[in-house]
Amino acid sequence: MNYCTHCGQPLTLKIPPEDQRERHCCEHCGVVHYQNPKLVLGTIPAWEDKVLLCRRAIEPRHGFWTLPAGFMECGETIVEGALRETQEEAGANISMGALFSVIDVPRIAQVHVFFLAQLQNLEFAPGSETLEVRLCNEAEIPWEDLAFQTVRLTLQRYFADRSNGMFGLHQAVIAPGHSAHAFA
């Protein structure tokens, strides 16, 4: 961040008055440019004992497997965002279930949120950011080829809860030292 989005003048990195953190400040027009974490929203679309996975057609993690998920957009709710990403990436029609996992990835300033979901039918198809869409039971999950640690953790908790007969809410942190692939 080099220039002010408001007036185009160079920015200064400094702690504004009555703040505790360095921000990109414009000395010309006075605007302080705050940067905040982003929400990534996704679903666990279930069909019988299987879940729907997408193989990524884009970087980062091209060719690796993920649950349908993406950045929340302005103007939508978290449920609308998760539905939209599932439609865009997997062409899947789902009924939304409960909030299932909320996972912090502080190293990359992201919070990943996944919802339980039920596939309505078997008419799904890869979107433009997806190479392939596949239903996998627990044994068929490509555990070594998952794109993101938040997806791995969500799937692990999902199958554990499923075998216990009850789905809970799971909160977790991908520790800063841990190699987390940035979602982008």
- Say whether residue 71 binds a second copy (CB under 8 A): yes
CA 90 to chain centre: 15
- Say whether residue 173 binds a second copy (CB under 8 A): yes
The string of DSSP letters for 51-82 reads EEEEEESSSSSTT-EE-SEEEPPTT--HHHHH
d(CA 154, CA 117): 13
Q: Which range, of 33-41, 46-54, 149-157, 159-167, touches a second copy by CB under 8 A?
A: 33-41
- Say whether residue 36 binds a second copy (CB under 8 A): yes
Residue 142 C-beta: closest distance to a second copy, Å: 25
Helix (H, G, I), strand (E, B), or coil: what is residue 21? coil
Please report, as ranges, the residues that interact with a second copy according to CB under 8 A.
1-11, 18, 20-21, 24, 33-39, 71-80, 88, 99, 102, 104, 106-107, 109, 111, 128-129, 169, 171, 173
